[in-house]
Amino acid sequence: MTTIDNLWRQLGAPHNPALLPPHFVKSTLPRMGGMVVTLQRGDQLAGIGLLFPRAMASDGMRSYTLRLHEIDQRLSDELVHAALAPTPVRIYRPSDGTTFAPPTTRPAGVWIGLPQAADLPAIAALYRAVWDSQPYPTDLFSAEFGPGTALVATVDGQLAGFLLGFLRFGGAPNAPNELAIESQVMAVDPVYRQHGIATRLKRAQANDALARGLRCIQWTVDPLQLPNALLNFNRLHAIAGAFARGYYPVHNALNLVTASRFIITWLPASAHGRLGLVDGGERPALADLPGVAVLNDGPKLMPAPNDPPYIAIALPPGWTELQRRDLAQATAWRDATDAIFAEWVGWEAGKYVIYAVAHDQAGNHYLIGRPAGSWVWEENS
């Protein structure tokens, strides 16, 4: 971790807008199958690059896009290829990203499509408004970089949201060596959050992935954020079969306590996952789940029977507001639910996959899990 911070400082962080956020480089890039490389000229550091997954051949050979940051002077492509041989790479410099969708007038109402160059300032401004931090470089949306997903949403011609994703190696529990999508960052302007824009962006991403033969989309999410859980599980029919405590080494307005994360997996070609491509997401009642074991009462852990048919984890109301209002209580919630997720959530036999949000008569919400198994990826209905 310290090495990344040192490398980024040599590239002018935090004031170099061409750099990706260091928390992404530390946490998500390696999980995608990417890596950081350094290039030398003699005994001097001459360049730093990020290897992004690009393609996977039928024989399993992996190739990459090298996002190259040079120090002091340009490196020859021959030198770069020689340094990284035998790994197949396509060299990309941030200044290369200049091609976007041709400028056209968007239709009235909600529209989802490819970004135009004129959208880039609004994308960066929306990112800052949501996360209060330096945005991802907008050249990542370009045809030259070739992201896994580059989408914007407009309402009556005004930018209302965006979605950026990368290609990744593996992801699906039944297909660890397939090319997939890492859906990295999405933002929706609060002014337009009653238009279903997040759902539309994610569905557009899934339909595009399926058209390209990609069957898995992954992303990370704070497991205690109810709006995200309702979107991911009840509307998109994605699932969470992995959990990471302290996934991001970051603290900001949305992460005042440990930034733990679910690894969300959406398999839109599966019988379960394709339900998320159309409207009709349900919010089941806790009382309709026979034998469900409720694992916590607020931040207090509850005893559970062996092998229950369902598990339920209570969610705190207003998680972001709770962090701001009562940090000690928020920390207690995080510690308790982290312990539950670490013990119960997983793909392997005896573990549970989170797949829905349910409510009780008092209006409390619960994450619902069922035993892991082939129902996750089966494609027959």
Of the candidate ranges 72-81, 179-188, 197-206, 253-262, the one whose mean pLDDT is the lowest = 253-262
**How high does pLDDT run on average in the chain?**
93
List, for residues 14-65, the tens digit of each pLDDT value.
999 999 999 899 999 999 999 999 999 888 999 999 999 999 988 889 999 9
Q: Give, in order, the Cα–Cα distances in Å from 97 to each of 52, 152, 198.
A: 15, 17, 26
pLDDT at 174: 82
Q: Does residue 328 sit in helix, strand or coil?
A: helix
Cis peptide before 86 (omega within 30 of 0): yes
What distance in Å separates the CA atoms of residue 236 and residue 55, rounded to the nearest whole number?
26
Torsion angle, alpha carbons of 378, 196, 253, 353, to 10:
-20
pLDDT at 33: 96
CA atoms within 13 A on the CB side of 288: 10
List, for residues 144-173, the tens digit of each pLDDT value.
999 999 999 999 999 999 999 999 999 888
Across residues 182-201, what is the average pLDDT? 94
Instruction: Give strand pairing partners of 175.
Output: 172
The structural domains of the chain, with segments of one domain joined by +, span: 2-96
The pTM assigned to this predicted structure is 0.94
Q: Does residue 272 sit in helix, strand or coil?
A: coil
The secondary structure of the chain in percent helix, strand, coil, rounded to multiples of 5, reads 30, 35, 40
CA atoms within 13 A on the CB side of 182: 21
pLDDT at 249: 56
CA atoms within 13 A on the CB side of 296: 24
What distance in Å separates the CA atoms of residue 73 and residue 250, rounded to the nearest whole number?
32
Cis peptide before 14 (omega within 30 of 0): yes
What distance in Å separates the CA atoms of residue 243 and residue 241, rounded to the nearest whole number?
7
Q: Give, in order, the Cα–Cα distances in Å from 377 to each of 95, 191, 237, 278, 380.
A: 40, 36, 12, 18, 9
- DSSP element (H, E) containing 77: helix 77-84
> What confidence category does residue 274 fall into, taking pLDDT thresholds of 50, 70 and 90?
very high
364, 324 Cβ separation under 8 angstroms? no
239, 165 Cβ separation under 8 angstroms? no
Q: What is the DSSP string of 3-40?
A: HHHHHHHHTTTTS-TTSPPHHIIIIIHHHHT-EEEEEE
pLDDT at 259: 83
What distance in Å separates the CA atoms of residue 351 and residue 241, rounded to the nearest whole number?
9
Torsion angle, alpha carbons of 315, 292, 216, 36, to 10:
50
What CATH code is assigned to 2-96?
Answer: 3.40.630
Per-residue DSSP letter, 209: H
Q: Does residue 325 sit in helix, strand or coil?
A: helix
pLDDT at 281: 64
Across residues 103-120, what is the average pLDDT? 97
